[in-house]
Amino acid sequence: MQTEIEAKFLNLNHDDIRVQLKKLGAECVQPMRLMRRRNFDYPDKRLEKIGGWIRVRDEGNKVTLSYKQLNDRSLHGTKEINVEVSDFQATCDLLETIGIKSFGYQESKRESWALDGVEVDLDEWPWIKPFIEIEALTEEKLKSVINKLGLKLANAKHGSVEVAYQAEYKISDPEIYAIEELKFGPVPKWLEKRKK
C-alpha cells in the first residue's frame, strides 16, 4: 500500500487561498465540483476493526475505488490503494453483490489546484467550515508547498475527514462513521447540540 502523504488545514478562507495560489503560479486543474462517495465494509466490520474501509468516489472527472487504512493520525499514518473504475453505481452494486455492505453515503465539494507537482484541494463538507488538503508524493514536497502558502505543518491535521468534524463538534469516530447520509443541508438537531 502507498502512504498517503497529506495534511489538512482547517477553517481557512478559500478566496484567500486562491489569491495565494495564483500569486505562486499554481494551476486550477478542476473547478469546484460536487463529489460523492460510498464507504463499504464487511457485515462484521472487520475492516473498521483495523482502521480500514473501502471507498467508491465519484470525483467529477473520474471514479475511483480505494482501500484506505488509518493506522494513526500522523503524517505517514494513512495507507491507501486506488484504482480508477468506469461507473460509480455499478462499482457500488458489484461490492454489495459480493457481500460487502455500504455503511454510508457522503457528499462534498472540491476544487483542485496543482503547485510544484503537489495537489492542493479546497474542500467543503456539510455542516463544517471550509478547509484545504495538501497531498504530495514526498514529505519534502509537501513541506515546501505548506511553507509557500504561509502555513505551518505543526498546525496540520492528519487522517480522514473526521478530524475536521471533531474540530467543530464533540463527536466520536464511531458516531461520525454511523452517519448514513452526509449531505449538504441543515445541520441535524442532534449534531447542532454537540457544537463546540
pLDDT tens, position by position, 79-90: 999 999 999 999
Nearest to 160 by CA among 11, 37, 3, 8: 8
Give the pLDDT of residue 77.
87
Nearest to 149 by CA among 6, 20, 18, 29: 20
Q: How far apart are the first and last CA of the chain?
A: 36
Work out the pLDDT band at 1, boundaries 50, 70, 90.
Answer: confident
Topology (CATH) of 2-192 = Hypothetical Protein Pfu-838710-001 (2.40.320)
Work out the pLDDT band at 173, boundaries 50, 70, 90.
Answer: confident
Nearest to 114 by CA among 184, 52, 30, 13: 30
